[in-house]
């Protein structure tokens, strides 16, 4: 049986193209060490940063719990926040574990993309909300700690308090969501490309990506300005 | 081979033996400037995935899978560089003893493959590397029948572009 001419051309061409390539064993080992260290640093940074926020929350909450011990309403609020924070911490660790799993490239291409899509659609979406709530808990507890008046915390303007908290949540969540949306949209398009066997969708995505970027920058600036404006009014 | 403690020396030796796979994938999926990055990324991802290599499949097949996934999801999905390979990207060493027509045809083959959609490119790449249909199906995650149908179409397309007569089985 005669070998396909394409295979013949491919083999011959590659024999010539790569005959000058020189990647020896030492270079492979060196790449491995450099990349492994870099990879670990990235993972460690995310883990440490996320863990640090939760630990700071737990410490602050415990301090506040001691400070507001004679205020039964605050005790319940703080205990529920501690329970919530511990839950987020555990959930966050699970998310990081899952994230490492879906980036294991030894699975088939199709499975890998499906898994990544599932991750970004389900657990990561939940994590985005919880991470934003964590930041709000941190912010609120700093205020609770600073403004502790013998176990009493007075909210002078409830509407403003709720408004500012909500705006802060929206800004934090919005910024994270915008960033993740880019990745998710690209993945969705890529999966569709693979299923339909067409690159058109991804190429369209790439064009619209820049337009979305500037739209999101505008939304972010608007929300930040609203927050600053709200704070300035509250300070008057 | 222990699953718990990966044997680094063995791994390096295996990657070194099959380094050609990485060169070819880098050449097909990355522009000149990104090639070195992709090469390092593939080696790193291979090492990262190595504990999951069970040894029941060929090291080569497993390597194809990880390397191609890295090229497509690790680099292209992240940077979204749908770069078409130019003549500059397809440098073939000068060799005065070889037939110039042959060189032109190899360049054309690479260029035509680089113009294919990512999945088609992967399928034809694995075919040219003489992987079986089952292996291609396992690596890409699509059915063997789908691989077969696509291959017929891709080969016809390439042959037409390269003006090659059908000699394949």
B169 in the same domain as B89:
yes
pLDDT digits (tens, 9 = 90+) for B8-46: 888 999 999 999 999 989 888 888 888 888 888 899 889
pLDDT digits (tens, 9 = 90+) for A58-83: 999 999 999 999 988 889 989 999 99
Q: pLDDT averaged over chain A?
A: 78
Query: Which CATH number do you get for residue B45?
Result: 1.10.1740.10
pLDDT score recorded for residue B166: 58
Domain stops at, among B83, B111, B145: B83
The ipTM of this complex is 0.78
Q: In angstroms, rounded to a whole number, what is the distance separating the alpha carbons of residues A107 and A113?
A: 10
B23 in the same domain as B76:
yes
Q: In angstroms, rounded to a whole number, what is the distance separating the alpha carbons of residues B72 and B52?
A: 20
CB pairs under 8 A between A and B: 166
Q: Do A23 and B16 touch (CB under 8 A)?
A: yes
Query: Does position A20 have pLDDT exceeding 60, yes or no?
Result: yes
The total of structural domains in chain A comes to: 1
B166 in the same domain as B94:
yes
pLDDT digits (tens, 9 = 90+) for B97-152: 456 666 677 778 888 888 888 888 899 999 999 999 999 998 888 888 888 988 99
Q: pTM value?
A: 0.70
B126 in the same domain as B67:
no
pLDDT score recorded for residue B125: 93
pLDDT digits (tens, 9 = 90+) for A113-160: 778 778 877 888 888 888 888 989 999 999 899 988 888 888 888 888
Domain hosting residue A216, numbered range: 3-234
Q: Coil, strand, or helix at residue B69?
A: helix
pLDDT score recorded for residue A12: 79
B91 in the same domain as B74:
no
Domain stops at, among B27, B60, B83: B83
Do the beta carbons of residue A112 and residue B142 sit within 8 Å?
no
Which residue in A has a C-alpha nearest to residue B150's C-alpha? Answer: A197
Q: Do A25 and B13 touch (CB under 8 A)?
A: yes
Query: Does position A102 have pLDDT exceeding 70, yes or no?
Result: yes
List all residues 6 or more positions away from A53 whose beta carbon is below 8 Å from its beta carbon: A134, A135, A138
Q: Do A6 and B122 touch (CB under 8 A)?
A: no
Domain stops at, among B83, B110, B128: B83
The total of structural domains in chain B comes to: 2
Q: Do B8 and A10 touch (CB under 8 A)?
A: no
Query: Which CATH number do you get for residue B156?
Result: 1.10.10
Q: How far is B146 from chain A (nearest CA, A)?
A: 11
Do the beta carbons of residue A167 and residue A227 sit within 8 Å?
yes
Tell me what percent of chain B is helix, strand and coil, each rounded to the nearest 5.
70, 0, 30
B99 in the same domain as B140:
yes
Tokens representing residue B58 in the block: 């060929």
Query: Does position B168 have pLDDT exceeding 60, yes or no?
Result: no
pLDDT digits (tens, 9 = 90+) for A207-226: 666 666 777 777 778 777 77
B93 in the same domain as B58:
no
B99 in the same domain as B26:
no
B89 in the same domain as B169:
yes
Domain hosting residue B136, numbered range: 85-169
């Amino acid at each position: 049986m005669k070998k396909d001419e394409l295979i013949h051309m491919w083999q011959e061409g590659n024999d010539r193209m790569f005959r000058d390539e020189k990647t020896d064993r030492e270079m492979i080992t060196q790449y491995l060490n450099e990349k492994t260290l870099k990879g670990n640093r990235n993972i460690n940074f995310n883990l440490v940063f996320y863990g640090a926020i939760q630990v700071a929350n737990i410490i602050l909450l415990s301090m506040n719990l001691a400070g507001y011990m004679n205020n039964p309403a605050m005790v319940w609020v703080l205990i529920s926040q501690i329970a919530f924070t511990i839950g987020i911490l555990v959930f966050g660790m699970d998310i990081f574990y899952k994230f490492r799993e879906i980036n294991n490239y030894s699975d088939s291409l199709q499975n890998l993309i499906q898994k990544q899509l599932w991750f970004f659609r389900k657990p990561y979406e939940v994590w985005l909300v919880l991470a934003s709530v964590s930041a709000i808990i941190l912010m609120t507890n700093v205020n609770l700690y600073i403004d502790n008046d013998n176990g009493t915390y007075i909210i002078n303007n409830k509407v403003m308090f709720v408004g500012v908290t909500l705006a802060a949540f929206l800004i934090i969540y919005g910024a994270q969501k915008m960033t993740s949306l880019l990745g998710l949209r690209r993945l969705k398009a890529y999966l569709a490309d693979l299923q339909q066997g067409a690159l058109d969708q991804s190429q369209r995505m790439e064009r619209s990506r820049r337009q979305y970027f500037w739209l999101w920058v505008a939304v972010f600036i608007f929300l930040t300005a609203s927050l600053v404006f709200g704070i300035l009014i509250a300070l008057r | 081979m222990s699953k718990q403690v990966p044997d680094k020396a063995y791994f390096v030796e295996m990657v070194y033996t099959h380094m050609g796979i990485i060169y070819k994938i880098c050449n097909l999926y990355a522009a000149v400037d990104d090639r070195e990055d992709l090469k390092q990324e593939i080696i790193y991802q291979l090492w990262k995935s190595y504990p999951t290599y069970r040894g029941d499949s060929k090291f080569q097949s497993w390597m194809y899978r990880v390397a191609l996934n890295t090229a497509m999801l690790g680099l292209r999905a992240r940077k979204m560089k749908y770069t078409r390979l130019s003549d500059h990207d397809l440098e073939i060493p000068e060799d005065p003893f070889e037939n110039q027509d042959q060189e032109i045809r190899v360049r054309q083959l690479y260029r035509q493959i680089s113009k294919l959609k990512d999945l088609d490119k992967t399928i034809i790449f694995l075919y040219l590397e003489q992987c079986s249909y089952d292996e291609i199906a396992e690596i890409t995650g699509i059915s063997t029948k789908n691989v077969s149908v696509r291959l017929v179409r891709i080969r016809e397309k390439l042959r037409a572009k390269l003006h090659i007569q059908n000699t394949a089985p």
